[in-house]
């Protein structure tokens, strides 16, 4: 068992996820967990995660520092590394002096410990403002980048290891190897974790809890709600009520395609609610991204409540199932009291007056785990491995106000983009790809006439879990075809851009 202490950063659960990927049990505890609570888990090692705050701030959060007296390996990552260095007498550079975000090349200076088996130069993923400036006595530098002299350090005698970069993200090329060295070589952990049998582990408790009462779920066609519905369909098929709300913010053909799928799979209770007009009315005049999400979330709940009351007249519905997964919770500041809010998520809002008990069977899983669970449940690969689609739909791919005309533009450009990506055979290697409308009109020329129309941004990223992402290297000839089709086929667009930013510092979506 490896314990991960969560300091409120985005990556605490991703660290645990990577450790589980290696085949070892991992448990997450809040940073303020007591020494006794940590000892109860009988850990073989501890990982100190990153944090959104700076350790140099007056109110910087700290664990019970008695953990440093433990006779077991401790790995500090980013904030955790700085915390460890400071505890043992080191010092930090002022915030922002050595800031790094994104990929960096690290020179490996020590390859007998946590870097065993790595090359002299490794690609790592940085996301920090503070950095260790002076090492504590007895510690040695094991890695450096162009801007960060102490990108990694260790004290092999004390079994203390620090990494300024994030080994848990997929864009640290050999991050898994680094964690593997820590978990197995340094901590001596055993391989005792597997996804095998996860469907039974999740469905049996649902059967026991729900019994013969009804479960209501809002489905969207996305992977999370689909896998949740499939799990519930296995556990309580006759008592499951699926509702698909047509917000008017879905991709082209999405409502029809999703309806056909659920009907074909034999879901006994499946209904579509057309609420497009209401959603568009509520979005009128809203420019702020957060207010836009709130309007969609509140309207969604309102429509859903109405349908729930209607269904409640003919069914004994006592439960509400949601396809919430872990990134939804951490990006909505649910992971710990120290977490930084990145965005709200409408799936997380439940009015108390509904009086339904919430079931979230996927709440501790990441997207890749959800996909594997879908495969275990026997779902078609084309449904399980489809790209993520945000709950607020196309509304957050229109910067600024959502109007029928802008919706039509982003829906049609998205359709062209997805079609060309599939034709080029690139859809399997790209995590997510979509178009976004930039609400700025620019000058163009068509048929010898001056035009004044919108710009469209193409976004395509590679990722494993959505926590970090790199832009996809789409061949130039494919981009050329996409741009040509969009400008020629979609009225209202005269310029197409390709986004080459990474996450972090950018996010995958635009709002």
Any idea where the domains of the chain sit in the sequence? 2-186, 198-384, 398-498
d(CA 430, CA 421): 9
CATH number for the domain formed by residue range(s) 398-498: 3.30.300.10
* Active-site residue (options: 13, 148, 154, 166): 166
In our burial notation (b when 16+ CB lie closer than 10 A, e otherwise), range 264-298 reads eeebebbebeebbeebbebbeebeebeebbbbbbe
In our burial notation (b when 16+ CB lie closer than 10 A, e otherwise), range 17-32 reads bbbbbbebbbebbbbb
Contact yes or no for 336/28 (Cβ under 8 A): no
Q: Which CATH architecture has domain 2-186?
A: 3-Layer(aba) Sandwich (3.40)
Catalytic (active site) residue 168: yes
* Active-site residue (options: 13, 78, 242, 509): 78
Contact yes or no for 8/51 (Cβ under 8 A): yes
CATH number for the domain formed by residue range(s) 198-384: 3.40.50.620
Catalytic (active site) residue 166: yes
d(CA 215, CA 358): 9
198-384 and 2-186 share a CATH fold: yes
The predicted model scores a pTM of: 0.73
* Active-site residue (options: 122, 168, 254, 453): 168
pLDDT string in tens for the chain (511-residue length)? 999 999 887 678 789 889 988 999 888 888 999 999 999 999 999 999 888 777 777 778 888 899 999 999 999 998 999 999 999 998 887 655 556 666 889 999 877 889 999 999 999 988 766 788 889 999 999 999 988 889 999 999 999 999 999 999 877 899 999 999 999 999 999 998 877 888 998 999 999 999 889 999 999 888 999 999 999 999 999 999 999 999 999 999 999 999 999 999 999 999 999 999 999 999 999 999 999 999 999 999 899 999 999 998 888 899 999 988 866 665 544 444 454 444 444 444 555 566 788 899 998 787 888 999 999 999 998 889 888 888 899 999 999 999 999 999 999 999 999 999 999 999 988 989 999 999 998 888 776 677 889 999 999 999 877 777 889 999 999 999 999 999 999 999 999 999 999 887 888 999 8
Catalytic (active site) residue 294: no
Run of H or E including 128: strand 121-128
């Amino acid at each position: 068992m490896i314990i991960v202490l969560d300091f409120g950063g985005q990556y605490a659960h991703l660290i645990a996820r990577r450790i589980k990927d290696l085949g070892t049990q991992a448990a997450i505890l809040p940073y303020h967990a007591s020494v006794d609570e940590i000892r109860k888990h009988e850990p073989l090692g501890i990982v100190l995660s990153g944090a959104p705050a700076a350790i140099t701030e007056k109110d910087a959060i700290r664990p019970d520092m008695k953990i440093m007296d433990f006779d077991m390996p401790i790995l500090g990552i980013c904030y955790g590394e700085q915390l460890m260095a400071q505890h043992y007498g080191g010092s930090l550079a002022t915030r922002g002096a050595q800031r790094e975000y994104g990929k960096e090349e690290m020179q490996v200076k020590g390859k007998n410990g946590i870097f065993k088996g790595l090359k002299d130069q490794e690609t790592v993923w940085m996301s920090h403002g503070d950095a260790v400036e002076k090492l504590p006595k007895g510690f040695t530098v094991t890695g450096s980048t162009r801007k960060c002299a102490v990108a990694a350090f260790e004290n092999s005698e004390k079994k203390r290891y620090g990494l300024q970069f994030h080994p848990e993200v997929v864009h640290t090329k050999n991050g898994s190897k680094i964690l593997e060295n820590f978990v197995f070589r340094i901590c001596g952990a055993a391989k005792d974790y597997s996804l095998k049998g996860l469907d039974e582990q999740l469905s049996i408790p649902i059967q026991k809890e729900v019994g013969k009462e009804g479960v209501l779920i809002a489905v969207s066609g996305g992977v999370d709600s689909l896998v949740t519905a499939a799990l519930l369909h296995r556990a309580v098929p006759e008592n499951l009520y699926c509702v698909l709300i047509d917000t008017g913010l879905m991709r082209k053909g999405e409502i029809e395609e999703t309806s056909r799928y659920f009907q074909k799979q034999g879901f006994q209770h499946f209904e579509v609610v057309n609420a497009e007009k209401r959603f568009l009315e509520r979005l009128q005049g809203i420019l702020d991204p957060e207010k836009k999400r709130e309007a969609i979330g509140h309207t969604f709940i309102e429509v859903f409540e109405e349908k729930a009351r209607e269904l409640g007249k003919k069914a004994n519905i006592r439960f509400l199932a949601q396809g919430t997964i872990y990134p939804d919770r951490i990006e909505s500041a649910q992971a710990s009291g120290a977490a930084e809010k990145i965005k709200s998520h409408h799936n997380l809002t439940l009015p108390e007056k509904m009086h339904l008990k919430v079931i979230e069977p996927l709440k501790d899983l990441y997207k890749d785990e959800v996909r594997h669970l879908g495969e275990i449940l026997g779902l078609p690969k084309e449904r399980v491995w489809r790209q993520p689609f945000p709950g607020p739909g196309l509304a957050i791919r229109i910067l600024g106000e959502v109007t029928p005309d802008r919706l039509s533009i982003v829906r049609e450009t998205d359709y062209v983009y997805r079609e060309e990506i599939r034709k080029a055979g690139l859809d399997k290697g790209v995590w997510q790809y979509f178009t976004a409308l930039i609400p700025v009109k620019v000058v163009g020329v068509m048929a010898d006439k001056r035009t004044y129309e919108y710009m469209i941004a193409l976004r395509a990223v590679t990722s494993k879990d959505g926590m970090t992402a790199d832009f996809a290297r789409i061949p130039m000839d494919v981009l050329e075809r996409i741009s040509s089709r969009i400008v020629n086929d979609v009225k209202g667009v005269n310029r197409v851009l390709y986004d080459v930013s990474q996450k972090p510092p950018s996010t995958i979506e635009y709002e």
